[in-house]
Amino acid sequence: MTQQSDRTQVAIIGGGPSGLLLSHILSENGIDSVVLERQSKAYVLSRIRAGLLEAGTVQLLRDYGLAERMDENGKSKDGSWITRQGLDSHFIDTHKWTGKRMMVYGQTEITEDLYDARERAGGNILNEVADVALHEVTSDKPHVTYTKDGQSYRLECDYIAGCDGFHGVSRKTIPADILRCYERAYPFGWLGIMAEVPPLPDLVYAYHERGFALASQRNRLLSRYYIQCPLSDSVLDWSDDRFWEELLARFPADVAAEIETGPSIEKSIAPLRSFVAEPMQYGRLFLAGDAAHIVPPTGAKGLNLAASDVHYLSRGLVEQIKSDRPTHLQRYSELALRRVWSSENFSWRMTQMMHVFPDMNGFDSKIQHNSYELLLQNEAHQRALAEEYVGLPFEELDALTLTAA
């Protein structure tokens, strides 16, 4: 079979939020890319993920003309509630402590907006490609091979962006003696449902001895709720009635009284994992988003980290390709990883504070309780939580220089 050849400046593996956003920003800067996505567009748009955007992500989407629908349909938030059984609730007041607001807007919607923007600009997104393989990534002439509809292709490029999620092929291209992986798996999952009922006015994170619960939202008439569940559970174990009963039991009575229940339109269980792969660069391959790191969903950092990776990577690529200045691109991994680890740290602490761990002893419970009490009592803790929740600012390169000095 003959192989057809093509060329682009940046080959992007994966058409999730990371890959699409990168492709859009490059295109706005006059740089050509091709997105190779394994799934169909319909499949990508059917995936339900978190829906809370940091202030920096909101700004990034606005800066690149991607915010029209978000500003119309998303819900701006001054903060969220956090609560612990038997103790007062606390409002994580991002607006009071940081002057910034977050936005409730589903990842599915963002992905749709990104597809629209790429399609309007004539962007090249190839769906349903198979057998993607990366070649000669440490040379200055890398290329990607793939098949589509039984035909094999070769895509020559200057750079490769590995945006293909946790299970993708890009990270695996980095030799095992170079790649360092850091991981923590949690001994429980989140059972999530979507229901066409009006949500609570704000997000509420709840700790209860029966397990964690979260009230979230998508829009005025669409609610998203989660409860911590054993990893061995299947959605078949959870009728809607059982889910609602358990959810209501985990919130303080006054919050539970406000929750409207109804039939679920989606129900799924996701395991919780913390994972980071270092470095995020190997030759001309750059990893971004879930391909390089996973956070547990407590605090909704996943998509926001993908956005900050893409911010750093696009800046490096634009600078290198347009002005032949390698500074930001060369230091991409270092800069991106600083923010990755801060979000990993935050997501881990939030998960640690808000869940029931099966192997917890009395000491662990006391420490957990104390972490929450410190938050209630101490304004420095409140401000720190608000700053991390709303999202740490994107750093400039001098942050690295200063740390190294």
CB of 358 to ligand PHB, least distance (A): 22
Kindly state whether residue 192 participates in binding ligand APR, applying the rule CB under 6 A: no
CB of 224 to ligand PHB, least distance (A): 5
The answer for residues whose C-beta is within 8 angstroms of residue 397's C-beta and 6 or more apart is: 327, 328, 331, 335
The β-bridge partners of 228 are 190
Binding residue for ligand PHB, selected from 79, 165, 252, 299, defined by CB under 6 A: 299
Token code pair at residue 352: 């640690």
307 to each of 107, 277, 288, how far by Cα in Å? 12, 17, 9
Q: Residue 35 half-sphere exposure, CB side, CA atoms within 13 Å?
A: 31
Q: Which does 193 bind (CB under 5 to 8 A by kind): ligand APR, ligand PHB, none?
A: none
Q: Is 297 in the site for ligand PHB (CB under 6 A)?
A: yes
* 290 contact, one of ligand PHB, ligand APR, none, CB 5-8 Å limit per kind: ligand APR
**Residue of 10, 11, 12, 13 interacting with ligand APR (CB under 6 A):** 13
State yes or no: residue 54 binds ligand APR (CB under 6 A). no
Nearest Cα to 330, choosing from 286, 360, 392?
A: 286
Q: Is 147 in the site for ligand APR (CB under 6 A)?
A: no
Kindly write down the DSSP assignment for every residue of 63-116, as one continuous string: HTT--HHHHHHSEEESEEEEEETTS--EEEEHHHHHS--EEE--HHHHHHHHHH
Does 306 interact with ligand APR (rule: CB under 6 A)? yes
Quick one: what does residue 224 bind among ligand APR, ligand PHB, none, with the CB cut-off 5 to 8 Å set by partner type? ligand PHB
User: Is 189 a residue that touches ligand PHB (CB under 6 A)?
Assistant: no
Q: At its nearest, how many Å lie between ligand APR and the CB of residue 297? A: 7
CB 92 within 8 Å of CB 79: yes
Q: Is residue 50 involved in binding ligand PHB (CB under 6 A)? A: yes
211 interface partner picked from ligand APR, ligand PHB, none, CB below 5 to 8 A per type: none
Calpha distance 321→77 (Å, rounded): 38
Amino acid at 306: A
224 interacts with ligand PHB by CB under 6 A:
yes
Cα–Cα distance between 226 and 228 in angstroms, integer? 7
DSSP 369: H
Minimal distance, residue 201 CB to ligand APR, in Å? 24
Of 25-33, 47-55, 66-74, 324-332, the segment contacting ligand PHB by CB under 6 A is 47-55
Contact between 281 and ligand PHB per CB under 6 A: no
Q: Could you tell me which residues are beta bridge partners of residue 124?
A: 34
Work out what residue 296 binds among ligand PHB, ligand APR, none; the CB cut-off runs from 5 to 8 Å by kind: none
The residues, ordered by sequence, that sit 6+ positions from 66 with a Cβ below 8 Å of its Cβ are 21, 24, 110, 113, 114, 117
Binding footprint of ligand APR on the chain (CB under 6 A): 13-19, 36-39, 44, 49-50, 107, 132, 163-165, 167-169, 289-291, 302-303, 306
